[in-house]
Chain A
Amino acid sequence: MSVDLEHYLIVGAILFSIGLYLTVAKRNFVGVLMGIEMMFNAVNLTFIAFSRFAESDQPLAGHVFVVFVITVAAAEAATALALAVMVYRTRDTVNVDEIDLLKW
């Protein structure tokens, strides 16, 4: 019995699915953003697992990619939460099913 690449990949897959469910199903915009961050994290775990286990000339390139993913995720979270606060100011809600100005 040992911990192999597949174990980490399955954990990443479960985490990605939970994040996808949160993103699609949650009513509050902040809950949707939590799902997006969770999917970012699942992808990071997959990157690091491949970086550790896969045969490669330069295994640490996966780590560098994860650093960039974290950077972009931080920028995305800051901008999206600012958008949430701004939508709340004009519409008094951040529920995604009530923000329907563009609906006919």
Chain B
Amino acid sequence: MDDAGTIIAFYVLAGMTIGSALGVVVVRNLIHAVIALIGTFAGLAGLFVTLSADFIAITQILIYIGAISILFLFAIVLTPQSGRNNQETFLRFPALALSGLVLAVLVYVAVDTKWNVTEQDGFAETAGTIGELLLDKYVLPFEIASVLLLVAVLGSIVLVRPEPAEED
């Protein structure tokens, strides 16, 4: 992980990720906030590539940029009367203090701890091994996740379905 390309890629992608995340906070229009959120997701997908997590990077693009952002856009356009503004409530300064404290603690722990770091290079490819793990060691969580997705799909359909007209 010492060549110049990786270092430049890391700083560019980290700047893009955090800059877009700050954009979500600052921007006053919710539609623009979703676009900034897509920038955050894309920067994170790039960071996953620099960590040699190819499968997770593609999954990030497919699920977050492709599906969840569109879901956010639909939720915004389906609630038009509530306005597009992205203002803060009166909790703004307590929230600022809380997130600042959390950031300080996390950064202190990350820098101060002596991590047990491996010397090996990144993985050559991950998708095959992840597939084997999912169907072998982690097959029970895999099945439970499928049931959870089914319940979520049914639940959201039932929630947003209009009330059926009264028969007879």
Residues of A within 8 A of B (CB): 1-22, 24-28, 30-31, 33-34, 37-38, 41, 44-45, 48-49, 51-56, 58-61, 63-64, 66-68, 70-79, 81-86, 88, 92-97
Contact = CB atoms under 8 A, between A and B. Distances in A.
6 contacts: A7-B10, A22-B25, A26-B88, A66-B56, A70-B60, A71-B148
Nearest to B133: A64
Main secondary structure on A side of the interface with B: helix
Given A16-B102, A25-B89, 14 more contacts: A3-B6, A14-B21, A17-B103, A24-B99, A27-B87, A30-B75, A30-B79, A31-B33, A34-B33, A38-B37, A53-B115, A83-B159, A84-B75, A88-B79
Contacts of B51: 8, 48-49, 51-52
Interface residues of B, number: 86
A88 B56 CA distance: 34
Nearest to B138: A64
Contacts of A92: 81-82
Contacts of A28: 30, 82-83, 85-87
Contact of A31 (B22, B30, B126): B30
Given A44-B44, A68-B141, A17 B102 contact: yes
